[in-house]
Amino acid sequence: MDLRNVAIIAHVDHGKTTLVDNLLRQAGAFRANQQVAERALDRNDLERERGITILAKCTAVSWRGARINIVDTPGHADFGGEVERILSMVDGAIVLVDAAEGVLPQTKFVVGKALARGLRPIVVINKVDRGDARPHEVHEEVFDLFAALGADEAQLDFPTLFASGRQGWADDSLEGPRRDLSALFELILRHVPPPGLDPEAPFALTATILEYDPYLGRILTGRVEQGRARVNMPVRVLRADGAVVETGRLTKLLAYRGLERVPVEEAEAGDIIAIAGLAQATVPDTIAAPEVAAALPAIPVDPPTLAMTFRINDGPLAGREGKKVTSRQIRERLFREAEGNVAIRVRESEETDAFEVAGRGELQLGVLIETMRREGFELTIGRPRVLTRENPETGAREEPYEEVLVDVDEAHAGVVVEKLSLRKGVMQDMRPLGAGKQRLSFLIPSRGLIGYHGEFLTDTRGTGVMNRLFHGYGPWAGPIEGRRNGALISNADGEAVQYALFYLQERGTLFIGPGERVYVGMIIGENSRGEDLEVNPLREKKLTNIRAAGKDDALLLTPPRRMSLEQAIAYIGDDELVEVTPGAVRLRKRHLDPHERKRQARRGESEAA
């Protein structure tokens, strides 16, 4: 069988999944009258709501007698663990770049990984039908990026297509007929080499994706690196050090055909398959015939840079909305996540009933928390903190740094530069984009970006676009100023009253509305001053038997400020937590009792002294 394995990689929202939709349609994977959801590969509810790809997906099409396995990869660097594993399964990569936005940080991240693996990319300049498209300039940007990332001569001699994934066409030139995607299919067959693996050697496969199926149990996806896999053949699972994890049989082999996974009796070297029947095998174990003694080499994954503490919900409202509230249930769920997601690390925390979860960024961990919330878990989450390390040569403390690329209106550039400078950011570049916009480039400690995104959107009136990418470790940048405003803290249990909230809104910004449940120690708003303030949201108007001549003034409340899960996590301070339940996201103090808070504050001051 003539076979090609290719990954589609790009910055988030540059059109990967939409392009795959049209590749599937034009290759005949759908019937002519079949109703298919837009972005068919984004099956996860969170992916559909956010419009991003979180999990890598495999699909396959047939074109002129050849089978092309296509892998759609996430664009966010937070999900880089997915990208790194997926690139080990393919022999070529389609690099998709938006014709207007050009090369952005996540493009650099995924392309760098692909070039390091020796893949020869195909460049597709997408969305050339946009009114602000600049395809030729973007083509030059891509070449400069490849050169900066150390591409060799063969990789720099990349073929380029101009395309509109949404309209379903790709051509060698902008003046082409713009009929269909056949030019892309033909280029894949010409430019991407066949796997070239040995089908006669003993069977071996590296597991790259782990899923759970209610009927088949654990399903592991990977590329057959050598030999042939057959249903019911005996196999053993090897760790990287050669230790045997388990022995078993391949009870089910599934191959990708369009959007479906169909059962097959046999698969040979080079094909991407899913297998069932193993109880302990995980990513990135080697599944091999019994005579194979050594594990296949696995790709090293970049270490996590950010950690959060996941705790049980021990607040007064615990257990009212979720079904999974014990530390044992939370522990099982987190360790199961770490098993399939190699970019996440989980360990027991020093706190009681708490776990430290480390990952690539706020988005990745936010997606995990949101998924658990929808599964019925109740949690409290601590403030994110960066993971530092010791320089092996000097012994100095180092912290993670990120590259930040900001596209902003010229009128707002000054305030962005000022705010990022306060957060220890150093400007690397500033260039005009035309139409009154500027592109600013910064190098900044990851600490400085925690909690900044909401402030950034406010400062730029919602028009700014910020992209970030892990750059590496650098010297500790010293103290960074955090949130300037204190919190409005409830000193009573019950339901908030409109009369009380009307007078409290003079103190700052409220996070709750009338009728909402509150408890002692819960944060109900932001103080307009720097210190925390305890308030009573249950205070009612004193009633008398004397009526005024005029009616009472109408109590008009400003709509409360509602935070998303990620905004809440970024907002809290070190002594605060986010309470996450299936029905609500609340902010609270770590210590609900005001006397305990004062004791802890005095203890912190004495330790600092």
Query: Would you state the CATH architecture of domain 204-288?
Result: Beta Barrel (2.40)
The token duo for 335 is: 């360790």
pLDDT for 234-265, tens place per residue?
999 998 888 898 999 999 999 888 767 889 99
In sequence order, what are the beta bridge partners of 407?
439, 465
Counting beta carbons within 10 angstroms of the beta carbon of residue 65, is it exposed (0 to 12), middle (13 to 18) or buried (19 or more)? exposed
pLDDT at 445: 93
Where is 217: in which H helix or E strand? strand 217-226
Classify 389-475 by CATH class. alpha beta
Report strand pairing: 426-434 vs 508-510.
unpaired
Q: What is the DSSP pairing of strand 120-126 with strand 92-98?
A: parallel
Q: Record the tokens describing residue 201, joined without a space.
A: 């050697």
Runs of H (alpha helix) within 101-247: 105-116, 135-148, 153-156, 182-191
Cα-based distances in Å from 561 to 164, 368, 480, 525, 564: 39, 24, 25, 8, 10
CATH 3.30.70.240 residue ranges in the chain?
Answer: 389-475
Task: Read off the amino acid at residue 327.
Answer: S
CA nearest 259: which of 66, 88, 23, 49? 23
The annotation places the binding site for GTP at: 13-18, 126-129
pTM of the model: 0.73
What is the block-wise mean pLDDT of the chain (609 residues), using blocks of 10 residues? 85 72 75 41 44 58 88 59 73 91 77 86 92 90 90 92 90 87 93 91 88 80 91 91 89 83 90 88 87 82 84 92 92 87 85 89 84 93 91 88 87 92 91 83 90 81 80 88 87 92 92 94 93 92 62 74 87 92 93 90 73
Q: What is the DSSP string of 263-315?
A: E-SEEETT-EEEEE--SS--TT-EEE-TT--SPPP----PPP-EEEEEE---S
pLDDT digits (tens, 9 = 90+) for 537-571: 998 887 766 655 444 456 788 899 998 888 898 88
The Cα 297–Cα 326 span in angstroms is 38
8, 188 Cβ separation under 8 angstroms: no
Q: H or E element: which one contains 22?
A: helix 16-26
Q: CB of 333 within 8 A of CB of 325?
A: no
State how far the Cα of 433 lies from the Cα of 451, in Å rounded to an integer: 27
Burial 430-451 (b: 16+ CB within 10 A, else e): eeebeeebbbbebbbbbbbbbb
* Integer CA distances (angstroms), 541 to 132, 498, 538, 552, in order: 58, 10, 10, 11
- What are residue 97's DSSP bridge partners? 125
Q: ∠ CA 451-454-457 to the nearest 5 degrees? A: 140
Query: Which of 190, 131, 126 lies closest to 158, judged by CA?
Result: 190
> Which pLDDT score is estimated for 32?
45
Q: Which amino acid is at 94?
A: I
Q: Which of 358, 362, 374, 338 shows the shortest CA–CA distance to 568?
A: 362
3-class DSSP state of 147 = helix
How far apart (Å, rounded) are the C-alpha atoms in residues 89 and 342?
16
2-191: CATH topology is Rossmann fold (3.40.50)
CA-wise closest residue to 164 among 126, 192, 138, 202: 126
Q: Given this model, what pLDDT does residue 346 score?
A: 93
Taking the CA atoms of residue 368, residue 88, residue 9 and residue 444 in that order, the dihedral angle to the nearest 10 degrees is 60
Structure tokens of 524?
Answer: 């109900």
Q: Which part of the chain has CATH 3.40.50.300?
A: 2-191
Tell how far CA 180 is from the center of its chain.
Answer: 32
Provide the pairing of β-strand 2-10 with 92-98: parallel
Query: What pLDDT sits at residue 566?
Result: 82
Cite the annotated binding site by residue number.
Answer: 13-18, 126-129
Contact 22, 129 (CB under 8 A): no
Q: How many CA atoms, within 13 angstroms, populate the side-chain half-sphere of residue 503?
A: 11
Give the mean pLDDT of the chain.
Answer: 84
**pLDDT, position 72:** 75
Residues whose CB is less than 8 angstroms from the CB of residue 435 and which lie 6 or more positions away in sequence, other chains included: 132
User: How much is the pLDDT for 280?
Assistant: 85
